Structure formats: C-alpha cells, structure tokens
C-alpha cells in the first residue's frame, strides 16, 4: 500500500525592505487545519519596522496576526509557494505599511488595519 503524503502545517516568512531602506516588512503565512480537522485555515502575520536613517537599527512598530478569509485560501497557497508578487509587494509597502503607521499613531483602529492587511492576498490578482 503506497504511503499518503499530506502537508498539515506550513509557515513561510518573506522580508521586504523598501527602496529607501527605511522600512522593513516581515510578511508571513501560516497554514494549519481548522477546528474541523479538514478545512485548511490560514493566518497572515505582519511586522513593520522603521528607522530614521539607513545606518540606524530597525525598530518594530507594528506586529499583527489576522485570520485570512476562507475564500482567499487558494491565493494564500499560491503566495506561500511562489512568494508575494509585485501587486502584493506594492500593497504591503504602501497600503499596509501606511496603515500600520496610522495604527501606531492612533489614527485608525485595529479592525481597519486588519482589513487592509487581509487585502494583501486578493492583491495578487490586481
């Protein structure tokens, strides 16, 4: 009887540094089995670190984890396998990073930031 191979968990992390080298983004995807033991669940992790000058050390200002929408599971799978594409990278470095800075400054609430972060997966098809 042939062995059955099944990937149950996966964790991938991508680090993106902005062209000006003043922001560093750690974007991750975690795959696990849902509570039912059948459905795959995905979590998106995000950390934003900034610095005033290229020679300064990065300082983490935002650290977040959100549940990906079930409908975005195929996009999460593709992103985990191939890495973020250009539209996703642009979304992370522009929209999510800006939302992270606004969250840190108290200008937006956590749910608003979370929605912006979740839009990273559908940005793959933008």
Please tell me the predicted confidence (pLDDT) of residue 30. Answer: 97
Domain contains 60: yes
Domain contains 4: no
Domain contains 56: yes
Structure tokens at 38: 């059948």
User: Domain range spanning residue 89?
Assistant: 10-125
Structural domain total, the chain = 1
Contact 70, 44 (CB under 8 A): no
Among 83, 89, 92, CA closest to 116 = 92
Q: What is the pLDDT confidence band of residue 5, given thresholds at 50, 70 and 90?
A: low
Domain contains 5: no
Comparing 38-42, 63-67, 83-87, 117-121, which segment has the lowest mean pLDDT?
38-42
Q: 54-103 pLDDT, tens per residue?
A: 999 999 999 999 999 999 999 999 999 999 999 999 999 999 999 999 99
Domain contains 96: yes
SS3 56: coil
Domain contains 2: no
d(CA 23, CA 27): 13
pTM of the model: 0.89
């Amino acid at each position: 009887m042939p062995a059955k191979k099944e990937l149950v968990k996966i964790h991938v992390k991508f680090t993106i540094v902005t062209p000006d080298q003043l922001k560093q983004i750690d974007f991750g995807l975690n795959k696990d089995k849902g509570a039912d033991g059948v459905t795959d669940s995905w979590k998106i992790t995000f950390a934003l670190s900034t610095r005033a000058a290229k020679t300064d050390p990065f300082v983490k200002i935002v650290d977040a984890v959100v549940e990906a929408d079930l409908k975005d599971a195929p996009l999460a799978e593709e992103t985990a396998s191939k890495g973020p594409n250009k539209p996703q990278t642009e979304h992370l470095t522009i929209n999510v990073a800006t939302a992270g800075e606004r969250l840190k400054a108290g200008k937006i609430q956590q749910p608003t930031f979370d929605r912006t972060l979740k839009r990273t997966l559908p940005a793959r098809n933008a």
